[in-house]
Each structure stands twice: as C-alpha cells, then as structure tokens.
Amino acid sequence: MDPAAVSIQVVNTGQQLSDIAELAGQIWRAHYPGIISREQIDYMLARMYAPASLHAEVHQENIRFYQLLLHGHLTGFAAVGPTNHAGIFKLHKLYLRPERHGCGLGKQLLHHCEMEAARLGAHSLRLAVNKRNLRALVFYERQGYAVTESVVADIGGGFVMDDYLMGKPLVQ
C-alpha cells in the first residue's frame, strides 16, 4: 500500500465525530454478529456513539479521536485517553472497515495511538477486548499486548461486556 495514500488526523469537529459514529455502526453490524447479539450491538452503539457521548469523551474526558483516511476517505478510527492512574492510558476504540483488515492499516493506527499516548506522558497502554473477538485478540497479541485480567461488566439493559483486559508498556 502506498504510504502517501494513508493519513491519520486528530478529529476536531462535530461532523468528523458524526462520520465516525456512522462508520462505527457499519463496522459493528458487520463484525460483531456471532460475538454479541444484534440487540446488544444496537444498545452499545446507541450508548457509545450518540453525539452527546462522543462530545463528552472529547471535551470532558480528554479522549482523543483519530481518523484514518485512505485516499482521503474515512477508513478507520481510534480513540485514546488518560485513565485515573498516572502514566496509564486506555485505547478506547480502534476500528477499520472490514474490507481493509489484513493490510497493515490497523497496525499503523495502533502504532500512532501508542506514540501519541507516550508523547502525552503514558508509560503503558491498556485496552479491553471481547473474549469471543478472536481476530482482535490475535491482532493485539501480535502487537505486543498481553492479557492482564478477565472481567465481566454489567452495562445495563440486561447486557454485559465479557472482556479480557490487555496491556503493553510504551517506549518513552
């Protein structure tokens, strides 16, 4: 893939957040059936990608969103931000259009988030992955992440998130 065709940019407008919310719906509805129910997909999208939720993440929680553009078209996104523990950041989101999996774009976007977190003072990056999302688990393990904990969290609506927490030390 031509490196000049790829750009990763900070998301800083409401329209860009709306575009990410729309892309998230497409990606989740393509990827998560068989991992979680369609009802849980709809519930989580409504909670996590509502304009007010995204706005609060950016403006109140200091979470930074990044969009990955391929030939100028939104192809993926990620979100990373601080936690309540000094030096530890969380990767909240990392998604690519399914047809772009396996060509190095996810690795490039993750590496960008790691560098940005380190630049902002993080010494480690943590994330959560659904235990049944085997493709993501393999991806993160290949990028140096290790499972640190198994958790089940009630998210309301009769749904739970059954995740592995993973982490990786960052190079300063």
pLDDT digits (tens, 9 = 90+) for 128-169: 999 999 999 999 999 999 999 999 999 999 999 999 999 999
Those residues with Cβ within 8 angstroms of residue 52's Cβ, 6 or more apart along the chain or in another chain: none
CA–CA separation, 86 and 92 (whole Å): 17
User: What's the pLDDT score for residue 68?
Assistant: 97
Q: What is the pLDDT of residues 51-95, one digit of tens each?
A: 899 999 999 999 999 999 999 999 999 999 999 999 999 999 999
Picking from 145, 136, 141, 165, the residue whose alpha carbon sits closest to that of residue 153 is: 165
CA–CA separation, 129 and 110 (whole Å): 14
User: What's the pLDDT score for residue 2?
Assistant: 73
CA–CA separation, 165 and 135 (whole Å): 15
- Given a cut of 70, whether residue 1 has pLDDT beyond it is no
In the chain, domain spans: 3-123
CATH superfamily, domain 3-123, is: Gcn5-related N-acetyltransferase (GNAT) (3.40.630.30)
- Given a cut of 90, whether residue 4 has pLDDT beyond it is no
User: What's the pLDDT score for residue 158?
Assistant: 96
Picking from 16, 12, 33, the residue whose alpha carbon sits closest to that of residue 98 is: 33
- Quick check: helix, strand or coil at residue 18? helix
Q: Is the dihedral of CA 25, 27, 17, 83 positive or negative?
A: positive
Question: 21: which 2 tokens?
Answer: 């919310």
Picking from 105, 90, 82, 77, the residue whose alpha carbon sits closest to that of residue 6 is: 105
Distances (CA, A) of 77 to 6, 24, 67: 12, 9, 4
pTM, rounded to two decimals: 0.94
- Given a cut of 70, whether residue 172 has pLDDT beyond it is no
Mean pLDDT of 18-46: 96
Mean pLDDT of 104-120: 96
Q: What phi, psi does 134 have (nearest 5°)?
A: -60, -35
Mean pLDDT of 23-49: 96
